[in-house]
Amino acid sequence: MKNLKLKIFIIIVILMIVFNFNYVKATNEINDPDFDLGEQEVIFMDITMATIQVNQEIQLIASSSKDATIRWSSDNEEVAMVSDTGMVTGISEGYAVITAKGEEAEAICEINIISTREEENNLSDFSNAFFEIKNTGTTARICIMQTLEISNISFSDSQDNKLYYAITRDQTEPSEEEFIQINKYDDTSIRIGSFEKYTELNGNIYLWIKEEYINAEGQTEQAYRVADQELDRAKIAKYTELFSSTFIEKDKTQIEFNMPSYSENRKCNIKIGKITDNNLLKTIKEDYEKGFEELINYAQSSSSIFDKKLNVQNDEITENLGLPTLDAGSYYYMYAQFDDESGKYYPIEGITIAQAGSTGKTLNFYGTDNFKWNISGNSGNGNNGNSNGNGGNTGGSGNQGTQSPDPIPQAGMNIIIVIAIAGVLGIGIISYIQYRKYKEIK
């Protein structure tokens, strides 16, 4: 009986070794790029979509999993022709599908042929241009200046060519009167300043660029280089970064805003209230963005000690708020929401936090030296975490949340099987030696 058990055990070990060998062999074959896929043929194509100009060529490369000869064809030879070696030539403007066929399977490449009018008339090329609205500093009025930067342009060599731009709120083509000549650019980029006059207004922002050139007949013409290009706005401060050099005292107030603004006079609703939720204060201290996002919701729904629409002149409020005496050491929110004037202006809101001074007559804002955290016995200054603020009151966007480490790599199936077999084999050998000793003793 014992001999039978030993034989069965040895057979199991041998079967497991054979299984693992076949598994490793099969796995390696499947991962091998030269592995035979079987009877089904597959055609591999290096390019599946391309745009070329008339008279321009592009080389396509295709191969068969069965090493079959590739036969090339074009579904529209009036637009694009293809040689026996996969060389595609643009014939005229239009669209063509190039097919690479083996014995049974096939693959395609979609080709778009465009006119060489740009080269013939020496026009600028914006096909690879990158468009970005950037915050580029502040003015004496404190407001953020913005610039539209268009990079990666291939400009015309002609000194006679001129570029003009226009901005629209929809995709309707602008009139000639709306176009403005572009003057600031270097070898590969354009910069259009004072762009805040467009971004402060509500709605989408579409860019149009025309180029004026002299054609072969000596006549002046214009051609669109960019048409209805939608632009993304630059990020606008939402939390404490919206406020700059802000202080509030019993009989003196100064609230300045970091925002893209071209208009000198705006209206803004200011709401100030006491924060009575200790858990919210802890969240603000430990997780900047999450805490201030929750604080906005808190401010919108909670009671206040001040809630009034004020005039903002040159991006600042200097009107005396006449606040009541504050609870010393307590925390207060200040929520600002700009009037969009029935949808005319892009909506802007922001919130910050302040601590009442010892006299109850001042508010020390988050990020200043006088702001102290004092929650459940904890104390510190307003710059907990990573500070990234602007002006005197901003405390930054530090996020002290815990970041999970990288996941621990897991062993593959092949390694697990090898370890398991090695363990079983070792136990088998030890058991067999003990069995032989037992027989000798007996």
pLDDT per residue as tens digits for the range 265-294? 889 999 999 999 999 999 999 998 999 999
Lookup result for tokens 């054609």: 215
- pLDDT > 50? residue 327: yes
What's the rounded Cα separation, in Å, for the pair 110 and 95?
8
pLDDT of residue 257: 82
The amino acid sitting at 84 is D
The amino acid sitting at 22 is N
pLDDT of residue 181: 95
Q: Is 90 left (phi over 0), alpha (psi -120 to 50) or beta?
A: beta
How are the residues of the chain apportioned to helix, strand and coil, as percentages rounded to the nearest 5?
20, 35, 40
Cα dihedral 278, 282, 287, 288 sign: positive
pTM: 0.55
pLDDT of residue 92: 86
Class at the top of the CATH hierarchy for domain 130-230: mainly beta
The residue-averaged pLDDT of 405-434 equals: 56
Extract the tokens encoding 119: 């080269």
pLDDT of residue 63: 93
What angle (nearest 5°) sits at the alpha carbon of residue 389, between those of residues 132 and 349? 70
Distances (CA, A) of 438 to 159, 432, 433: 102, 10, 9
Range among 160-174, 216-230, 244-258 rated most confident: 160-174
How long a stretch of residues is the chain?
442
pLDDT for 351-368, tens place per residue?
Answer: 999 999 998 889 999 988
What's the rounded Cα separation, in Å, for the pair 365 and 36?
70
Provide the 10 A C-beta neighbour count for residue 211. Answer: 24
What's the rounded Cα separation, in Å, for the pair 176 and 232?
24
Domain 240-381 coded CATH 2.60.40: yes
Cα dihedral 124, 126, 129, 133 sign: positive
pLDDT bucket at 142, cuts 50 / 70 / 90: very low
What angle (nearest 5°) sits at the alpha carbon of residue 28, between those of residues 12 and 411? 70
Domain with CATH 2.60.40.1080 in the chain: 43-115
pLDDT of residue 424: 60
- Whether 122 and 225 have beta carbons less than 8 Å apart is answered as no
pLDDT of residue 381: 43
- Nearest residue to 45 (alpha-carbon basis) of 101, 95, 88: 101
pLDDT bucket at 441, cuts 50 / 70 / 90: low
What's the rounded Cα separation, in Å, for the pair 4 and 10?
10
What's the rounded Cα separation, in Å, for the pair 70 and 73?
10
Q: Which DSSP helix (H) or strand (E) runs through 50?
A: strand 49-53
Q: Tell me the average pLDDT of the chain.
A: 79
Using DSSP, state whether 98 is helix, strand or coil.
strand
Architecture of the domain delimited by 43-115: Sandwich (2.60)
